[in-house]
Structure 1
Amino acid sequence: MANSKDMIIEAAIAVLNDKGIDGLTMRAIADKLGIKAASLYNHFKDKQSLYDAIAERICNNTKPSCGLVDPKRYLIEQAELFRRELLKVQDSVKIITASPPLTPTRIELVKNDLLCFINLGVKKENCIIAARLFYNHILSFVSDETTMVSERWDDANPFIAVFGEDYKPLSNDEQFIRGLETLFAGYKILE
């Protein structure tokens, strides 16, 4: 058997994708694995530690390959990777926001982000603001992306009502990058 803890995390993610966060119970995970729920507590002391492990797993694949040489490129790549990973797991935004960044990968990502903001010229005392804006953009964008039903806008699209036929909608990818670019423009205020 592979690492039992990894198998539990994978089963938990499968339950999340099937039932959402409200259906993520130790019993549901145990049923998925064909074991007793009590045995899960040998690996996770409580549901919070499971959330932390799921959040860590989501973040494991968000390390940019470009390195810290170009801080803006690093942050954009990280944001795109993070968004991609969040979109793979139902209710991932709820898991991430319920889990403080205290696991090894998440700590490393936050440290690197802070270094990037400093290298972009953001004052040290403003780096936490820059980081919060950055993560809030990613998390709120994914939340909107996974909960809004754009098909319902066809008849009463407020953008068409305001801008008329000249309105050309952007793809989610384009909107996401434009939002990041807007943040980078705003970070100049924090220098």
Structure 2
Amino acid sequence: MTSPSIPNRGRPARLDRAKTVGTALELLDELGLEALTMRRLADRLGVQAGALYRHFTTKQDLLTAMAERMLGDVQVSPGAADWAERLRALARAMRRALLAHRDGARVFGGTHSVGPHTLAFAESVLGVLREAGFKDEDAARTLMAMVNFTLGHTLEEQAATAPLENGTPEDPDRLRSAVLAGSYPHLAATLPVLTSTDFDAHFEFALDVHIEGLRHLRPRAA
């Protein structure tokens, strides 16, 4: 009788797709996207690299599954808030989900998951807009604009705060020095905001701009 703590010799470890994705996210958080390779993931799982391709044909397939898992963490409390507040809540929830993982936005960018978490998020956004009276065409384009804006903002946010090879974040003094060394009066006047790392404030301002634009678009739907 074989001890349950000792695997049978010659028997390959059994791979579980969900566990593989979870382990990939753990490696992502530890090492970053550049260091996340199929071989390193296989080593962590205790299998041969070729075994991973039974579940994921390419690394891009793995990244798509990881992006899908990230959106599974999007949680928005139900409530009777108006459409604008519900839309804000969904955008904030997506940003939080991407920020929850190192290089989360880079992983998500370029993936086109049709998994249940991705579809549920899109369904929620479209539901808010259609119930508010927006045309189907405008609702669909608003979904794409909101996802692209949130992804782009988070991508820049994570790039600005990611440690460099020497272990320190990108120095905002580089921009300050370049601006002050030349004749850029408008840039110089706005440097305090341009070099600010208050990404919450940056995100909320841009989100307000989106919402106000939608308010002007909405009467067309009526």
Partner of 2:199: 172
Partner of 2:4: none
Matching of residue 80 in structure 1 with residue 101 in structure 2: no
User: Which whole-Å CA distance do the structure 1 matches of 2:143 and 2:188 have between them?
Assistant: 35
Identity across matched positions, percent: 25
User: Which whole-Å CA distance do the structure 2 matches of 1:165 and 1:31 have between them?
Assistant: 46
User: Which whole-Å CA distance do the structure 1 matches of 2:61 and 2:195 have between them?
Assistant: 45
Partner of 1:57: 69
Letter in 2 for 1:103: G
Partner of 1:161: 188
| More relative contact order, 1 or 2 (CA 8 Å, 6+ apart) | 1
Matching of residue 130 in structure 1 with residue 151 in structure 2: no
| C-alpha spacing 1:4/1:178, structure 2 compared with 1 (3 Å) | same
Q: 1:40-68 CA distances to partner (integer Å, 9 max, x unpaired)?
A: 23333332331221011100011312257
Q: Which has the higher helix share?
A: 1
Letter in 2 for 1:56: E
User: Which whole-Å CA distance do the structure 1 matches of 2:92 and 2:14 have between them?
Assistant: 30
Calculate the aligned-residue CA RMSD, in Å: 3.1
Letter in 2 for 1:174: A
Which residue of 24, 27, 40 corresponds with 1:28? 40
Q: TM-score, normalised by structure 1?
A: 0.82
Q: TM-score, normalised by structure 2?
A: 0.72
Matching of residue 185 in structure 1 with residue 197 in structure 2: no
Partner of 2:152: 140
Between Structure 1 and Structure 2, whose CA radius of gyration is higher? 2
CA contact (8 A) 2:70 2:98 kept: yes
CA contact (8 A) 1:51 1:98 kept: no
